[in-house]
Amino acid sequence: MPAHALPDAPAEPDWPALHLHGQASAFRQSLALLQQCARVDATVLLCGETGTGKELAARALHYLSARSRGPFVPINCGALPDSILEAELFGHARGAFTDAKSDSLGVIGQAQGGTLFLDEIDALSHRAQAAILRFAQDHSYRPLGASRLQHADVRLVAATNAKLEDLVAQGLFRQDLLFRINVLSVRLPPLRERHGDAALLAQAFVQRLVQQYRTGPRHLGADSLAQLQAPRVWPGNVRELEHLVHRAFLLAEGPVLHLDLGDAPAGETRVPMLAHELDSDPGPCPPPEVGARMPAETDTQVDVSFADAKAQAITDFERRYLSAVLQRAGGNLSLAARIAGKERSRFCKLVRKHGLQRAGFEASAD
């Protein structure tokens, strides 16, 4: 079947076979939209917090589409150094540079007839955004050292955990590129918006691990199931829940798994590790303690809009946090990125954004 042909989509795809488990209304709406997007050969932007399953959604788009027999080629944009960007994406002709002893397809050529998945597209540098802009428009590109433009028969799917509109406003992301990748968009809801799905997901993870490790039957304990089904604000997403189940599975001494779902000890405060966590709604504010000091009017800017004050607070937090992590790591960027739980390239982007290397840190690569 040609890649551009549209198949008759099934009434209801087998989502669990695609590793997409859930019955919550918000999640089912996202799945329904994914199914619609799979029937047309247009660019799709997948949005959602880290760990919500954007790559699984991208693979589902591919395998539910007419391109399912073609390759699915994922690439992490945050791991693309500018120095090899064009060769990695577009490939090169023999002799294009010193070590180019033969032709190379590049990831776009490898995805011919299938789907190219650009994960963390918000991490692209300005140079990388400019390089990919033309391709995003008409799928034409020129391999390094080649004399002719080539056209790729690929479907483009991009993913981000950032608000690209905010990055455009800050001058960090090209508006014209956003227009070209945001033809269709699907938001993957965080786990805290998927009431009842945590227990279903955990049980699916247990069954997958039983097959992976070839053990006897195992199941979640009644106490863990009850806690998973109770309304709560989850500190993480599907990925974090999967790791929690995996750890309990490996440490279990019998067929019953008990998840460590206890709240943080009294007096312990969890500091957000990522800036996007500050955007989540923590619920209604508790009343102030008797005798507690209320912030003075000079403590918080009240002569600016809420959005501007919030943006400034996030900027201040990022700078303080990055400075502390760099100090702890002795300026070692790789170690600092691991402490912060971020990709090194994205961590370096934040460091440059706040000018911290210029502020006295002798950063080292390793």
**Average pLDDT for residues 87-114, to the nearest whole number?**
78
Q: Name residue 253's amino acid.
A: E
Where do the CATH 1.10.8.60 domains begin and end in the chain?
Answer: 195-257
Tokens of 289: 């303690």
Considering 8-12, 90-94, 140-144, 196-200, the range whose residues carry the highest mean pLDDT is 196-200
Cα→Cα distances 310→275, 283, 296, Å: 12, 17, 17
Where do the CATH 3.40.50.300 domains begin and end in the chain?
Answer: 15-189
Where do the CATH 1.10.10 domains begin and end in the chain?
Answer: 303-366
pLDDT digits (tens, 9 = 90+) for 10-47: 568 999 999 999 999 999 999 999 999 999 999 999 99
Is residue 334 over pLDDT 80?
no
**Average pLDDT for residues 210-216, to the nearest whole number?**
93
- Kindly indicate the confidence band of residue 271, based on its pLDDT and cuts at 50, 70 and 90: very low
Is residue 265 over pLDDT 60?
no
> Which tops the pLDDT comparison, 236 or 22?
22
Give the architecture-level CATH label for domain 195-257: Orthogonal Bundle (1.10)
Give the architecture-level CATH label for domain 15-189: 3-Layer(aba) Sandwich (3.40)
pLDDT confidence of residue 257: 95
Burial of 322 (0-12, 13-18, 19+ CB in 10 A): buried
Burial of 303 (0-12, 13-18, 19+ CB in 10 A): exposed
pLDDT digits (tens, 9 = 90+) for 274-305: 333 333 333 333 333 334 444 444 445 556 66
Is residue 174 over pLDDT 50?
yes
Find the helix or strand (DSSP H, E) in which 74 lies.
strand 72-76
- Pick 303-366's CATH classification: 3.30.420, 2.40.160, 1.10.10, 1.10.150: 1.10.10
